[in-house]
A and B are shown apart, each in its own frame.
Chain A
Amino acid sequence: MNKTRHLALCGLLLALALCLSYVERFIPLDLLVPLPGVKLGLANIVTLTALYFLGAKTAFPILILRCVLGSAFGGGPSALIFSLTGGLLAMAVMAAARRLPFLSIYGVSILGAAAHNTGQVLASMVLLRSVYAAAYLPFLLAVSIAAGMLTGTVSALTFRALAATGQLPARGTKQKRT
């Protein structure tokens, strides 16, 4: 893939991640699960896609920019701390979990969702100087299994479609010349 195409693709993924995290706010998930602060984590689909197709070196700046721009558009500085700690821990865990041969994209996605929640609770523990914030984490972890399955399903479908069109090379397979 040449540099221009690579840059355009990064921009596209960043825009997509911002859109997904914005649209997510309008999904009234707390009607289904009565836990404040629960989210689907749709932007994680982009992190997964970037991680699998472009590698951690490219996925990392996309994640950082998504968090910074996302909080600039709405949320403010405290939202930035939470999305960064959650996002970075999720990315680190998924980058490591991807190397485990027995996990599919579903397992990687679930671990990423759980890591995201853990990171956010860790941030609130530091911010409030309290271990009591962790009492809420088991509930969030239970939800993260379902949310991780959902984002994993969407990612798997996306990957299949992208690989089928030859738009993005599946890592470890030979790139088709177009």
Chain B
Amino acid sequence: MRLRFCKGDWIAIAAVVLFAAVLASAFALHAAAAAGVTVEVRLDGELLFSCPLEQDAVYTVQGDYTNTVTVRDGKAAVTASDCPGADCVHSGWIDAAGRAVICLPNRMELRLAGAAEDVDIIVG
């Protein structure tokens, strides 16, 4: 049993960094390739609302909890929620394709879909 940090542990750190970098670059490439960005609001995977990111909008999602989604100045966010913890509100604003704000208690997803949505992104 090794109890001291050793050279081999750098391999573990490198593996985690590599995995994170591959994943991040896959999403970055997806965002760069996107021509137009569409805001999509989904509940349990079902599309309830969508609009172009350039168009300002306010939409209220009613599930187990209530989320208010705001689209303004080419950014989108969950601006109000009555879910416990309100992690979705604290996630803040997103503005690039491939990004998403999730409210797990409500099973709500606010996603920014790129125009090339038909092409599946390959992750890790």
Chain B residues near A135 (CB, 8 Å)? 27, 98-100
Of A102, A127, A134, A145, which contacts B11 at CB under 8 A?
A102
Judge whether B90 is part of the interface by a CB distance below 8 angstroms. yes
Within 8 A of A (CB), among B7-22: 7-9, 11-13, 15-17, 19-21
Contact with B along A110-139 (1 / 0, CB 8 A): 110010000000001001111111111110
Contact with B along A137-150 (1 / 0, CB 8 A): 11001101100000
Chain B residues near A128 (CB, 8 Å)? 42, 44-45, 102, 107, 109
Of A30, A105, A142, which contacts B2 at CB under 8 A?
A105
A residues within 8 Å of B by Cβ?
Answer: 30, 34, 36-37, 52, 78, 82, 97, 100-108, 110-111, 114, 124, 127-138, 141-142, 144-145, 152, 156, 159-160, 170-172
B residues within 8 Å of A by Cβ?
Answer: 1-9, 11-13, 15-17, 19-21, 23-24, 27, 42, 44-45, 85, 87-88, 90-92, 98-100, 102, 104-105, 107, 109, 111, 120-121, 123-124
